[in-house]
Structure 1
């Protein structure tokens, strides 16, 4: 039961960080002197198109569901439901990938002053990934998933990449006025390396997602077996 409060606190912190960053993005749009920079529907859609934001929204929802389940039906259940185990595995994988990609590829990317909210940025890219990592190894009643569940985990990132690459050339970048908008520089074929570089990064991240997905499934299976072993010796 006490762990439900940890999940609830993580959900609230993540929600606050998302709202703070979204408010800053809207504020910057309202202060823009150009039509494309002040077009709120595009600014908001761009904000919600970041993998980081989508993953953190999913994390907020998942942690909130986990807390509510622990306070209600979880009282009488020995193991979390299968649907929630899959949701949690997906969320944990995406947040771990978010944390690793940001801290290895994006942390030193310079952005215009005032674009990000510093504390929110750290919460979304560091704190919430750590919350999900802690959850993976310490949350009670973990269910073991079959190894094939990894293909469910990788489905959403594939759809997100396709969505991003198709949408990019339909959007005028609010900050620069470019006739394209990519959420991350390593996905932009207009930069150094062109499409070849983009393909390399996409493949590398896809492999990373599969590796992290297997890691998350392994951790869940390991935790489940440990609980079974403990009960067997009682």
Structure 2
């Protein structure tokens, strides 16, 4: 099982990393063809997408997992980091496939195979890895706070930065996702607030699900879970 996931993690890290790099290169070529010269602004925008940040984190986590597997180490903090990456990637997959998949994108700006890895296959693999890969620690419910902290900061950053930007292509402020733009949303900030709350709920529920999976004493990956909590906490794991 360990050898299998070592290979799967290498393949997944290469695929997700290649997808991020491939999309950067595609975007740079597209901006060049369009005669856009504000490259620093556009690169900042690129790395402001929650999708890109989640996939970069996933790549880093997978590379770290490969290294720790070779070292035969399974620190508890790394299980927390895996839980964070899994939650972000699964949320990315859910939000994209429910809200964004049918939104038309500029022809030539999106690399199709990269898009599928970043929004579908990457999230599916991270979930598979969390479910079945060895070395998963039993996590406390308090780690939900760790999971949701970055999305909160990201949402604040996005909503504060948006009105301060100007995109010459759209002749208006720049937001990473259309449902976060109060100028194009049906009910302005009311619509934006609805989607922010909805996504926060999804992240919270997914994070709770990820932690719950780690606490199962039966089911996917339970036989390989690391129970290093006090006895009382272990007894409550099935509660």
Same fold, TM-score > 0.5, yes or no: yes
Q: How does 1:33-182 map to 2 (within 5 A)?
A: 33=35, 37-74=36-73, 80-178=74-172, 180-182=173-175
Question: Normalized against structure 1, the TM-score is what?
Answer: 0.90
Question: Normalized against structure 2, the TM-score is what?
Answer: 0.88
Aligned in 2, Cα 1:67/1:114: closer, same or farther, shift over 3 Å? same
CA distance in 1, matches of 2:198, 2:82: 23
Three-state SS of the structure 2 residue aligned to 1:147 is coil
Three-state SS of the structure 2 residue aligned to 1:129 is helix
Deviation at 1:112, TM superposition (A): 1.5
Question: Structure 2: where are the runs of 5+ without partners?
Answer: 227-239
Question: Structure 1: where are the runs of 5+ without partners?
Answer: 75-79, 230-234
Deviation at 1:128, TM superposition (A): 0.4
Kept in 1: contact 2:136–2:225 (CA 8 A): no
Deviation at 1:174, TM superposition (A): 4.8
**1:168-222 deviations in whole A, cap 9, x for unaligned?**
12222253232x1000011000012210000000001101111000100011121
Kept in 2: contact 1:150–1:213 (CA 8 A): yes
Deviation at 1:72, TM superposition (A): 1.3
CA distance in 2, matches of 1:170, 1:176: 14
Three-state SS of the structure 2 residue aligned to 1:86 is helix
Aligned in 2, Cα 1:217/1:30: closer, same or farther, shift over 3 Å? same
Q: Which residue, out of 208, 222, 226, partners 2:216?
A: 222
RMSD (CA atoms): 1.6
Q: Which residue, out of 179, 191, 208, partners 1:186?
A: 179
Q: Which residue, out of 7, 14, 19, partners 2:9?
A: 7
CA distance in 2, matches of 1:29, 1:58: 25
CA distance in 1, matches of 2:189, 2:225: 49
Q: How does 1:191-202 map to 2 (within 5 A)?
A: 191=184, 192-202=186-196
Kept in 1: contact 2:134–2:225 (CA 8 A): no
Aligned in 2, Cα 1:220/1:156: closer, same or farther, shift over 3 Å? same
Deviation at 1:46, TM superposition (A): 0.5
Kept in 2: contact 1:99–1:126 (CA 8 A): yes
**1:97-127 deviations in whole A, cap 9, x for unaligned?**
0000000000000111111000000000001
CA distance in 2, matches of 1:13, 1:228: 27
